[in-house]
Structure 1
Amino acid sequence: GVATELIKKTAKEHDVTLNLEPGRPADGLVVWRKGSATALVEVKGKASHAGVAPELGRNAATEVAHQILQLGKLGDEEKKTTVNFTVLKAGDRTNVIPDQASAKADVRAAVPEEFDRVEQDLARVSANKLVPDTEVKTSLVRGLPPMPQTPQSDALVAMAQGIYGELGRTLTIEGSGGAADSSLSASVGTPTLDGFGIVGGNIHTPEEYAEVGSVAPRIYLLSRMIMKLSGQQ
């Protein structure tokens, strides 16, 4: 989209990117991030009356449930790849065998090649159907790319740790399964470090929180990073 291209263009024009996603609960910065994608499974069956003649139908809901169970195993723990189905749609009337169903999965990967592998495996594994005469289509829509850890980002980490040490505090260095705009900056080769925002946790839950006591140290860290990177000590 327009925002994506603008971020990439702006990143290319600058020496460094410091992103203000939340700091990690252990007072950390984020040195790598997974990329994101959405897997889509679409099933076409045949409608029939669920009470009078269910045997004449081809239940798309049953087939999509089967697909979720087998395709949900396409993650790879060793490679940090996850596939989690999060959206499911089927019929809207209890007395009708549904002829359409779909499911979406959140896919995360630390390296781009894993998205290629997942896309291929979606097509291969989904050919194993449970309900005869149903049609199953799969696709993978890529989102943000992974943000890798690099020697350049490690140099930024060392600078940040030195600055935080001025306050008698210690930064932890972590990775994240969450994708962010910093991935776009890293994708064009600009040295990137993330997690400069206020420290917090339990993101995207009712228990999400922010540590008020981290505001001043984080402002100090960001300000001093900008000063040092711009040649001011």
Structure 2
Amino acid sequence: MGASPWLIGTMSKASERAYEQIRDLILSGALKPGSQLKEEELAASCGVSRTPVRDAMSRLENELFIYRTESQRSFVNEWSPTDVEEVFTLRTMLESHAAGRAAQRATAEIVVRLQENSAAMALAVHRPVPDVDAFLRLNREYHATILEAAASDRLALMLNRLVLQPIVHRTALRYDRGQLERSLAEHEEIVAAIAKRDPDWASAVMTSHIRRAYHVYAESKEASERT
């Protein structure tokens, strides 16, 4: 006899809770790069059993938050400057290609969704204190929508492995208001290019958008290491 729907739903919720809590610990820096992750300790801190923690860690491994050694021990992922530069270089190539495809393939409904996303992001950025959490959530939705419009399963598979949320998160936390506003302006210009069905324009702006994010990350990383 299989597990009941109630039990499956309960375990799914526990796995999701464990995933969110462990991910937040990594993003906040409470779990530092290179830290070993132990299932028993995480289960206790998350208030769940080890099975949901194991499920959560498998998901986090797929998303490159953590890595597993040959001895099956898990650690928070560490990224060297060379690793980060390579990832941003590949992201630039793939996301600019996605933006160009989106300009050729986006439906009117997707263009409206992107415009609404940019409007919501503007509200988050222009608050007295910018809402960085909302900015990050909307940024994920924005890039996911462009990828949806690009309509390429192969491209989606490659990009989903490269969009390293820990790095995106840490980059956004280093943005001041001016940098948030510039990112917003780039989002709005890409939407304008997609609405005009201009793949070269959309691709060019996406290229500069990703490269600028890389330099913000690299410069802030260097500054933090000097202090």
TM-score range, shorter chain: under 0.3
Q: Please identify which structure carries the higher helix content.
A: 2
Greater strand percent: which structure? 1
Higher relative contact order (CA 8 A, sep 6+): 1
Q: Select the structure of larger CA radius of gyration.
A: 1
TM-score by length of structure 2 reads 0.21
| Structure-1-length-normalised TM-score | 0.20
